[in-house]
Each structure stands twice: as C-alpha cells, then as structure tokens.
Amino acid sequence: MSLQLTNPLAFLDLETTGTNVVHDRIIEIAMIKLMPGGKRLTFYKRVNPEQAIPIESSLIHGIYAEDLKDKPTFKQIGKELIAFLKGADLAGFNLLRFDIPILAESFLRAELDFKVENRKIVDVQKLFHLMEKRTLKAAYLFYCQKELEGAHNAMVDIEATLEILIEQVKRYENQSVVDSLGNPLGVIKNDIATLHHLTNTHMVDFAGRMVYNEQQIPVFNFGKHKGKAVSEVLKLEPSYYNWMLQGDFPLDTKRKLTQIKMGMMQA
C-alpha cells in the first residue's frame, strides 16, 4: 500500500540538546520526503548547537559535543533545509508539540522565513493515541510487528514513523474517530488533508499558549486570562501584550500575538 499524495510529504525528526522550545537547540535533523509518485528523498544533517549538551540528553540520543564541533550551525544550513521542504506537507511523531515548534523557533532565530500555515500537518503520534493510546517503540511493534532498534537516532526514528503511518492508514481506513469525550472527529482516509484535519490541533501558536475556541476565535490557553479572547484582553489590558513580549515565551508565540494585535489595528 502507498499513501495517496497531492503534495510531497516530508517526514521530520529532530534530536536536540533538551526539550525546552525556547532555550534548547537542534543537533540532528533527519527527513524523508515522500513524493506523489512514490520516490523518496532524504535529508540528514548533524548541527552544531553553539551551546553545551547536557549529559542527560547525550545519554538518550548518543550525541556528544565532541561529535558536533566541526558541524555547521543551523543558520548555515537553514536555506538548504527550506529548499528541501519547499511545497511539502509535514508528518512526524509528536511533531505538533515538539519538532515543529523548535524548528520554527530555530528559523526565527536565524532570521529565515519558514511558513507552515499553508502546509498540511499529520502527527502520527496523535493518530496513534486517538486509535490505540501509546510510544514510538510500542507503535512500531504494534503496527509493524518489529522491535525498534536504535531508537533516538533521528533517521531510525523517522524511518519507523513513515512505516507506522502507512500501516495506520491500511488498518484504520474508513473507520470513525472520536475524541476523549466521545465527540466525532471524522473518518480515517488515505488522504493527507483528512489526516491533517484529524491530527492537527486548534493551536494558534506552536507552544499552545493561544488556541482557537469553538467559534474559531483565538483565546488565551494559560494564566489569568485563560479562555478569554486574545483581542479582548489586549483591548482591555494593553500592558499584557508588552508583558508577553518581554517574557520568556517562544518567538513564535510573540509573533502570533503581534499578528493578532496588528489585525486589531487594521480592523
């Protein structure tokens, strides 16, 4: 079975110095771009993070500072990465909560323009959790009946993720999906737009500090204004915008907040 594609689909996995989207850095990038005709293109780079790698992280992925001292920085490979991803939709395991946010943050720090707004996104982990509720290693064993050897090597992980998505579509095609409250979400189809709709969240920014409510209005998803419309908060408490811009929030969050504020001014 092959995935039915309209656009190229780039499977993405990152290894990093840690799990903090704001402060940690990418050290390994692996991608497989699946073309509509079935051809596969690969992209693999190790990256000098220009900061220390905690030993706790190195013990997980096996990458140490010594391995990266002569590798290019993210800024040096950023344009090549953008070119590889041109026109491609995105897929990966937990990419909505981690890989895309930290990738977007890295592009913003490098002052490179990378947009995901017009791309379909399929989070294989979310589809797995919707249907079976479990980890990449468990998913690989469950769907592919194989043990995952070398987990936390980016290329090993992303090869497994690609295989899992194909098996998921094969297993669940035409089955209905409901959320944790029993609300219908749709039906599994061998179609990236459908998978995007099922696995994508209502987040406005990648960190999930702002989300769309049922009326598709951006609302805050944290703190004292949780559940309140972002535009109303900025109107009634203008200082909240400055507080967030000066605070320890991801650059993507600050950018999305500014876009909402600018939209209010133009309305």
Q: Which pLDDT score, from 0 to 100, does residue 202 have?
A: 81
Which residue would you say has higher pLDDT here, 179 or 211? 211
What is the rounded distance in angstroms from the CA atom of residue 150 to the CA atom of residue 169?
A: 25
Provide the token pair at 203. Answer: 């987040």
Q: Is pLDDT larger for residue 160 or for residue 130? A: 160
The identity of residue 188, as a single letter, is: I
**Per-chain mean pLDDT for the chain:** 93
Q: Which of 77-86, 117-126, 198-207, 246-255 has the lowest mean pLDDT?
A: 198-207
- The reported pLDDT for the residue numbered 149 is 86
What's the pLDDT tens digit per position in 236-250?
999 999 999 999 999
Give me 33's structure tokens: 């771009």
Instruction: Report, as an integer, the average pLDDT of 214-219.
Output: 91
* Domain boundaries along the sequence of the chain: 9-199, 210-266
**In Å, how far from its chain's centre is CA 261?**
25
The pLDDT value given to residue 182: 74
Between CA 44 and CA 38 the distance in angstroms is 20
pLDDT at 201: 67
pLDDT of 181 reads: 60
pLDDT classification of 109: cutoffs 50, 70, 90 = very high
* The pTM of the whole model exceeds 0.85: no
In this prediction, residues 227-233 reach a mean pLDDT of: 96
Q: Residue 183 to residues 130, 169, 197, 265: CA-CA distances in angstroms?
A: 12, 21, 14, 37
Asked whether residue 180 carries a pLDDT value surpassing 70, the answer given is no
What per-residue confidence (pLDDT) applies to 134? 76
Q: Over range 9-27, report the average pLDDT.
A: 95
Name which of 154, 38, 57, 42 is nearest 99 in CA terms: 154
pLDDT grade for 199, boundaries at 50, 70 and 90: confident
pLDDT at 191 over 90: yes
Query: CATH assignment of 9-199, given 2.60.40.10, 3.40.50.300, 3.30.420.10, 3.40.718.10?
Result: 3.30.420.10
As a whole number, mean pLDDT of residues 184-198 equals 92
Candidate ranges 128-137, 154-163, 208-217; pick with highest mean pLDDT: 154-163
User: Does the pLDDT at position 178 exceed 90?
Assistant: no
pLDDT in the model for residue 160: 94
